[in-house]
DNA sequence: GGTGATAAGTTATCACTGATCGATTATTGT
DNA sequence: ACAATAATCGATCAGTGATAACTTATCACC
């Protein structure tokens, strides 16, 4: 009565990669539904329809699964950032639109965002040893695209500061703060979300760009 | 050769509360050294010199230990915020100083900060069920003190926006972003820390306050 | 159509985690 | 000395991530 234990049929010989996709799909769904730490490898395996050790034929550790999910999500952010840059003109409106891209991405991919920027890595560096810098490098890739956009507004002479790295890091931190808090503290008595986002972005724009009160 | 297992002498009858302090001290040290998730209750117990189940005479769950640490840390932040408000005058300089109080607190109490604002709570609300809102309420206490300061600059007519809740949430998010990233991603190629903080704070100030470029 | 190689997946197990139970100390007021 | 009880321990549980050794299905080839 308790465990039907539906097993997914064995994959044909060359098709192990397909199972890998199934695992990533199941993991993403479970993470989205229950959060990262509360989902066990056994739950993932059951959702896929295989035994728990079978996961380890495709991923060395559990963290590798989350890392992979995160890397994929960030490739999306990179795309969006590149799209934002493609039709970018150094104006305040367009600048705000670019900031908005980051916020929207974070709120649409909360779990990837968590893995990339909010997950505890362990101060001893164990996490880094296991999965490497790959998820973070993916994040930095997006960061660089963002820096390019900031570079354009600086070259147009619109910024208060003229050190692109410095402005970019500051703006990134500012955006991350909002995104991470909205994700991690959804039950906080926030002002209406859309209003808050708009307010936050225009504050960052005022802080970074000259003129245009 | 492996385990000396030094035991702390049993506490006299009324002095259980003293042991409670020892547990909190040991836990804070271990968390600071190794991170939150990598420290087990057995490690905490050994550091104190008692058995692992003995912890449960003082704390219902492991999360209660971290929650308590966080609450204590935030009472310090509340104090600092009240101090900042005591000699507050509605000027740009003083406003920046108040923002700086938050940043300094976060960087000086990274573990408490993690527990309060960065720890995964589980989307199903399990964390909340166990330890309650207490750590977050402590954080909100500090938030309210901060809101009072923001209220003063608004009453002085210095702010762009005039909705105190809105500005405060935006500024808080802005500050949190920097603090949480510096804590969680210490290995990121940041610009020199002091410069970054100063730059970030002045950006937030420009974004929130009128005049004073 | 049998055969051997091997990809795909299994069961059993390990060390460890947070947590609970019942028993056992040691201290205290009487 | 004695009973009450605060303080604590050893044994144990279910659940975790991970590993080792084994089985089974599929494939290419003669």
Name which of B122, B124, B203 is nearest A170 (Cβ-Cβ). Answer: B203
* A174 touches B: beta carbon within 8 Å: yes
Instruction: Kindly give, in sequence order, each residue whose CB lies less than 8 Å from that of residue A91, ignoring residues fewer than 6 positions away.
Output: none
* Dihedral angle over CA of B123, B128, B129, B132, nearest 10: -170
Measured CA to CA, the distance from residue A139 to residue A147 in angstroms comes to 12
From the Cβ of A122, is strand C under 7 Å away?
no
The confidence band for B103, taking pLDDT boundaries of 50, 70 and 90, is very high
B83 touches B44 (CB < 8 A): no
From the Cβ of A3, is strand C under 7 Å away?
no
Mean pLDDT (whole number) for A118-122: 66
pLDDT tens readout for residues B132-165? 678 778 888 988 999 999 999 999 999 999 999 9
The chain-wide mean pLDDT, for chain B, equals 89
Partner B, chain A 74-93, Cβ-Cβ below 8 Å: none
pLDDT tens readout for residues A11-56? 887 777 899 999 999 999 998 888 778 899 999 999 999 999 999 9
Q: How far: B15 CA to C22 C1' (Å)?
A: 24
Mean pLDDT (whole number) for A83-103: 96
Neighbour-count burial for B170-189, b at 16+ CB within 10 Å, e otherwise: bbbbbbbbbbbbbbbbeeee
Mean pLDDT (whole number) for B185-209: 95
Mean pLDDT (whole number) for B98-125: 82
Measured CA to CA, the distance from residue A162 to residue A155 in angstroms comes to 9
> Which pLDDT score is estimated for A133?
74
The chain-wide mean pLDDT, for chain A, equals 89
Say which residue, B191 or A212, is predicted with more confidence.
Answer: B191
Please tell me the least confidently modeled range out of A185-189, B2-6, B189-193.
B2-6
The confidence band for B111, taking pLDDT boundaries of 50, 70 and 90, is confident
> Which pLDDT score is estimated for A120?
64
3-state SS, residue B20:
helix
Pick from A27-36, A117-126, B113-122 the range whose average pLDDT is largest. A27-36
Residue lying closest to nucleotide D9, CA to C1' = B51
> Which pLDDT score is estimated for B207?
97
Percent of chain A with pLDDT over 70: 90
Percent of chain B with pLDDT over 90: 65
A48 touches A36 (CB < 8 A): no
Chain A hits for B122, CB-CB cut-off 8 Å, are 34-35, 37-38
Window B60-79, strand C contacts by Cβ < 7 Å: 60-63
pLDDT tens readout for residues B12-30? 777 768 999 999 999 999 9
Tell me if A124 and B38 make a contact (CB, 8 A cut-off): yes
Tell me if A173 and B177 make a contact (CB, 8 A cut-off): yes
Tell me if A124 and B35 make a contact (CB, 8 A cut-off): yes
Tell me if B203 and A199 make a contact (CB, 8 A cut-off): no
Structure-block tokens of residue A192? 């209406």
The yes-or-no verdict on residue B4 having pLDDT over 60 is no
Name which of B128, B170, B185 is nearest A196 (Cβ-Cβ). Answer: B170
The yes-or-no verdict on residue B108 having pLDDT over 60 is yes
* A209 touches B: beta carbon within 8 Å: no
A118 touches A180 (CB < 8 A): yes
The yes-or-no verdict on residue B67 having pLDDT over 50 is yes
Protein CB footprint (7 Å) on chain C nucleotides: 7-12, 16-22, 26-28
The yes-or-no verdict on residue B51 having pLDDT over 90 is yes
Nearest to A99 by CA among A168, A162, A183, A163: A168
> Which pLDDT score is estimated for A2?
44
Tell me if A122 and B173 make a contact (CB, 8 A cut-off): no
Considering only alpha carbons, which residue of chain B is nearest residue A198?
B170
Tell me if B170 and A200 make a contact (CB, 8 A cut-off): yes
> Which pLDDT score is estimated for B3?
46
> Which pLDDT score is estimated for A122?
55
């Amino acid at each position: 009565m308790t465990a039907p234990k539906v097993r997914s049929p064995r994959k044909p010989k060359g098709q192990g990669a397909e199972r890998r996709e199934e695992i990533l799909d199941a993991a993403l769904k479970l993470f989205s539904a229950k959060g990262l730490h509360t989902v066990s490898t056994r739950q993932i395996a059951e959702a896929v329809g295989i035994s728990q050790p079978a996961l380890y034929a495709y991923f060395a550790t559990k963290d590798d699964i989350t890392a992979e999910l995160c890397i994929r999500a960030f490739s999306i952010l990179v795309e969006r950032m590149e799209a934002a840059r493609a039709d970018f003109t150094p104006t305040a409106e367009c600048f705000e639109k670019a900031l908005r891209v980051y916020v929207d991405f974070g709120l649409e991919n909360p779990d990837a965002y968590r893995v990339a920027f909010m997950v505890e890595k362990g101060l001893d560096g164990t996490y880094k040893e296991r999965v490497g810098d790959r998820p973070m490098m993916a994040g930095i890739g997006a960061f660089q695209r963002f820096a390019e956009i900031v570079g354009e507004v600086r070259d147009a002479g619109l910024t208060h500061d003229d050190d692109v790295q410095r402005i970019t890091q500051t703006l990134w931190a500012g955006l991350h703060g909002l995104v991470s808090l909205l994700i991690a503290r959804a039950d906080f008595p926030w002002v209406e979300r859309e209003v808050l986002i708009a307010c936050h972005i225009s504050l960052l724009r005022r802080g970074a760009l000259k003129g245009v009160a």
